[in-house]
Amino acid sequence: MKDARDIIIAPVISENTMEQMQEANTYTFKVAKNANKVEIRNAVEEIFSVNVINVNTMNVRGKKRRLGFHVGKKPDWKKALVKLAEGDEIEIYEGL
């Protein structure tokens, strides 16, 4: 089994994700590309000590970037939307 800290890479913070957090108690994370929904659920429950109701995942394509004549591409990544049980919160988002 993979370590929980290897599965959850970073929180995704934007206006849209903050709105989802406040209205639907749904938190967004950047996760390992090879992680599945069960591993993501177990990792969030282990790291943050919360109850997860639902996990939705999506693969995000990296954007094309250009530097002069050189055209490159940002790496593809995986995003997970984690819905928590009512009354549960994750403290890293507090104060943002």
Mean pLDDT by 10 residues, the chain (96 residues): 89 94 95 97 96 98 95 97 94 66
The domain tally of the chain equals 1
Calculate the CA 38 to chain-centre distance.
Answer: 14
Nearest in space to 78 (alpha carbons), one of 54, 57, 55 = 57
Residue 79's pLDDT is what? 98
Q: Whole-angstrom Cα distance, residue 34 to residue 24? A: 26
Determine the pLDDT at residue 66.
Answer: 94
94 falls within a domain? no
What's residue 92's pLDDT?
74
Looking at residue 45, what is its pLDDT? 96
Has residue 43 been placed in a domain? yes
Question: Structure tokens of 17?
Answer: 């994700």
Question: What is the domain-level CATH number for residue 18?
Answer: 3.30.70.330
Flag whether 38 is in a domain: yes
* 68 φ/ψ sector (left φ>0, alpha ψ -120 to 50, else beta): left
- For residue 94, the model assigns a pLDDT of 64
What is the model's pLDDT at position 26?
96
